[in-house]
Amino acid sequence: MRAAATTGRLLIVCLATATAEAQEPVAGAFSFDPIEVDSSNVPGARCYKSARYIVVERHREEAVGSDFFIRPRETGRCDADSLQGDYVLRDEWAAYFSALHGDILLLDSGTGPDLRTLILFDLPSREKLAELSYVELIPGPDSAVVGLWDGFYLDEPASGCAAPPGGLIPGVDSLFFADVRSGRKEFSGRTRCAQRQ
């Protein structure tokens, strides 16, 4: 459950659990590091290679999400075995590989298409920088900034928004811009009408 304060009122946001769903790695108009993808070496795993890192994503058979084995590119290793010097992230968030931006690993977390989370890790310090909720990612104004439309449930449609059709719940999306190097986000001042299941 998430709560968000808007216009002096507290909104309760319920996260629905659905079948696990991995999103495709971020691509297209985003300016993140070019990635080579190799899935031939290890059954049930994918190897993502940037200029600086290798990230092996091993899907969990008994649960949603993946475990991650991160190492310098010069090791050349695309196996899912943990050796000294590897940074290992055991899945706690139903997470999937999304992108790399320099020393920042971006993971996508969620069990359905709505209300997902972008998780940012600083690889040299091995620290989680941020968990940023979103319903849609868009390119930001520069290569290190991503736009996140964050979704909220409402009790009634927002001013200027139509009532949602049969069975849907009124909502609103707010656009934030987040710097992936720090995890800091700022509200853009933009909102849009939305509908939730």
Model confidence pLDDT, tens digit, residues 96-155: 999 999 999 999 998 777 789 999 999 999 999 999 999 999 999 888 999 999 999 999
In a domain, 10, yes or no: yes
74 by DSSP, 3-state: which? helix
Phi-psi domain of 126 (left: phi exceeds 0; alpha: psi -120 through 50; beta: other): left
**Domain-located, residue 136:** yes
Give tens-digit pLDDT for 57-108.
998 777 788 899 999 999 999 888 888 889 999 887 789 999 999 999 999 9
| CA–CA separation, 83 and 97 (whole Å) | 20
Does residue 111 form part of some domain? yes
Structure tokens at 27: 């691509």
The total domain count for the chain is: 1
Closest CA to 193 of 166, 174, 165, 167: 174
pLDDT at 25: 53
Residues 12-70: tens digit of each pLDDT: 222 222 233 444 555 445 779 999 998 777 778 899 999 999 999 998 777 788 899 99
Q: What is the rounded CA–CA span in Å between residue 180 and residue 133?
A: 13
Q: Check which CATH number belongs to the domain holding 156 and give it.
A: 2.40.128
Q: What is the pTM of this model?
A: 0.81
